[in-house]
Amino acid sequence: MIVTLILVFFAFLALGFFVRLAMGRPSTSEVLENPTEHIRAADVEVFRNLVDPEKEKVLRADLPPTEFRRIQRERLRAAVCCDSCAAHNAAILLRLADAVRCSPDPATAEAAEKVVDNAVRLRLCAIEVIPRLYIRMIFPGSHVNVVGG
């Protein structure tokens, strides 16, 4: 029974994640007309600070367990927000570069191809991190590696 409830919970979590990805997505023509309007602020240093294991150890040592869990969940929610902004911005870059990829100028087309490759890589990495952050949010004491493998 507990396994079923856990599976249902993760199914709803995944459904919510995919619905959130699908909603609010501007059309490609809107993005091409004014791309800066769609870019979201994403601070890499803030993200690194929020997922830093050393900062987590300091918090764990300085705070009572219930307070640590509450603060850690808040920090991880903020990290999800930063990561989501990075994924969103990568999607915007992907659309812009994809539109330029068919340029008659070979140098421009080649540069756009590199931007597409990097934007896809960034988006995939950012999307891969979000479930890890949620796992750490659900289990604040877990040692799931957020940044790599």
The alpha carbons of the chain give a radius of gyration, in whole angstroms, of 19
Locate the DSSP E strands across the chain: none
Domain range annotation of the chain: 26-138
Say how far apart CA 87 and CA 91 lie, in whole Å: 6
- Is the per-residue pLDDT at 30 higher than 80? no
Closest to 68 in 3D by CA, of 79, 77, 53, 58: 58
pTM: 0.69
- Residue carrying the six token digits 């992907």: 94
For the record, the structure tokens of 1 come out as 């029974």
- Is the per-residue pLDDT at 27 higher than 60? no
